[in-house]
Chains A and B, each alone.
Chain A
Amino acid sequence: MNDKKIKNIIIIILIPLCIALGVIIFKDRKYNLISMIIAILSCIPIFLTFEKGETSTRRIVIIAVMIAISVAGRVAFTALQGFKPVAAIVIITAIYLGAEAGFLTGSMSAIISNIYFGQGPWTPCQMFSWGMIGFIAGLPFMQKLLLKNRVVLSIYGIFSGIIFSLIMDIWTTLSIDGIYNMKRYMAAVATSFPFMAIYAISNVVFLMLALKPFGEKLERIKIKYGI
């Protein structure tokens, strides 16, 4: 009960408070700092649920394995430029292990892959967007839909590639302008379009090919060890 209260406090009070502070103290000009703080705050409720909940050691270790696979997986595809399996592995984890595990895999993958590829002010934003991609895929009705329908799965793969790119472009705009500048945003979206396209396509390809074999493995582990 108590933890639920903390979570509600964070969402209901702290985030609007943060925005209000941004408007009052920074005269509505410091979107970069405020957005970074909000991105961190919005990760906290799920982190807290995981922290206080009854999670078995086995489940914790499986999540750690999926995170490590998503980061180390880049090595398996070094021959292919721009082919990053992170989002696809996050989605697969979410489908088989649930929304919470999906969010954790996404957000922790962001932290860890940035340890290798460069930590920066963009980390919280990346954590949030990969985390949400996992969270949405792990919601019970989405799980069923994504498993049954290949068309929905590929649409979700494209969607997650695009949404990740769009959210990161918002970060670019806010960090350069300090406020939201529509023209700058459009320019950022245009320049990142090729990456977005590769990203979306690679998500779909990876999901189509890997969902079944990877899923079988996770399902088997789940049944064998009762996770």
Chain B
Amino acid sequence: MKSFSSFHPTILFLYYLLVIFISMFTMNPVILGCSLVGSILFFSMMNSPRAILKDIIYYFLVFILIAITNPIFSHNGETVLFFLNDKPVTVEAIIYGIAIGTMLIAVIFWSKSYSQVMTSDKFVYLFGRAIPKLSLVLSMALRFIPMFKEQIKKVNQVQKTLGLYSSDSITDRVLSGIRVLNSVLTWSLENAINQADSMKSRGYGLKGRTNFSLFKFDKRDMTILIAIILISVIVVLGFAFNIFEFYYYPAISILKLSRVGILEYIFIFILMILPFIIEVKENIHWKLLRSKI
């Protein structure tokens, strides 16, 4: 089920902007942890277990690499563990590496689910009015790519049958690649001009034309928009009052956990796992409906 992606594109874009910005804005370990958990949970709702496992293992290795290498490049911090080539390896640097690794991987997982949720039609819908020409270029190029790939395969097969460049040497591979691309270019340029003329004759770019779209801003969107705005106001206030302040160098600062602080962290956690909650809720709803049949 993909329930979160059925929200209005504005909501989705706003949400991702907010979440990625918060994750990159702060170094607070609790916020970064929430962001990582939220991004992985939502990503795992959208993909098959195998794909999830593969990605998690790969990024876990990246994470370890960053955490281990940071003390090699950074010698700040006052708690020295040992000396490596006369350079101090500090606890602070290791923990900073862990934090930055968490941030990087959280942002990567957010971007991964972003490209699954914000499909190009939604992007074009959102920005079609503000940047009509660029979004046209984008959507046309996206349509051309599968078409060209198909054509490249066809031309390649035909040329192989003709006996052109069929050996395995590198020169032959390069030459055949360029030859194929060249013929696809000829074919596509003529096609494209036809398309442009046809668009023009149908009045593309004239005033008063409307665009077809399937997206409607309904009650559900309004509710979630209000929720997101409320949470972000609370979070911004938290930043303004330095509740999330956290230092790694020279010594790791202590996490301030006042009553307000805990409340703030709860709100951040809710914000980060919002897409996951929506997916789970929808899944339960679906199962209930099915069990009634």
Contact = CB atoms under 8 A, between A and B. Distances in A.
Contacts of B144: 64-65, 67-69, 72
A225 to B, nearest CB: 6
Interface in B53-97: 66, 69-70, 73-74
A223 interface: no
B145 A62 contact: no
Contact of A73 (B175, B181, B200): B181
B137 A221 contact: no
Contact of B173 (A62, A80, A121, A218): A80
Given A50-B134, A51-B131, A61 B186 contact: no
B23 to A, nearest CB: 10
A29 B149 CA distance: 44
Contact of A62 (B25, B181, B189): B189
Interface string B169-194: 01001110110111011101110110
Interface in A39-59: 47, 50-51, 55-58
Contacts of B186: 217
A64 B199 contact: no
Interface residues of B, number: 61
A99 to B, nearest CB: 16
A61 B196 contact: yes
A118 interface: yes
B195 interface: yes
B152 interface: yes
Contacts of A29: 27
B111 A119 contact: yes
Interface stretch (B36-44, B112-120, B225-233, B273-281): B112-120
B107 A121 contact: yes
B131 A36 contact: no
Given A32-B24, A61-B140, A225-B193, A51 B133 contact: yes
A217 B182 CA distance: 9
Given A60-B196, A69-B148, A119-B115, A221 B189 contact: yes
A148 to B, nearest CB: 22
B173 A79 contact: yes
A166 interface: no
B185 A69 contact: yes
B260 interface: no
Given A55-B133, A72-B145, A175-B104, A213 B182 contact: yes
Interface of B: 20-21, 24-25, 27, 66, 69-70, 73-74, 100, 104, 107-108, 111-112, 114-115, 120, 131-134, 136-138, 140-142, 144-145, 147-149, 152-153, 156, 170, 173-175, 177-178, 180-182, 184-186, 188-190, 192-193, 195-197, 199-200, 204-205
Given A33-B21, A121-B107, A176-B104, 18 more contacts: A33-B25, A47-B131, A51-B131, A56-B196, A57-B197, A61-B199, A62-B189, A65-B188, A67-B141, A76-B177, A76-B178, A83-B177, A104-B134, A115-B142, A119-B112, A187-B69, A210-B181, A213-B182
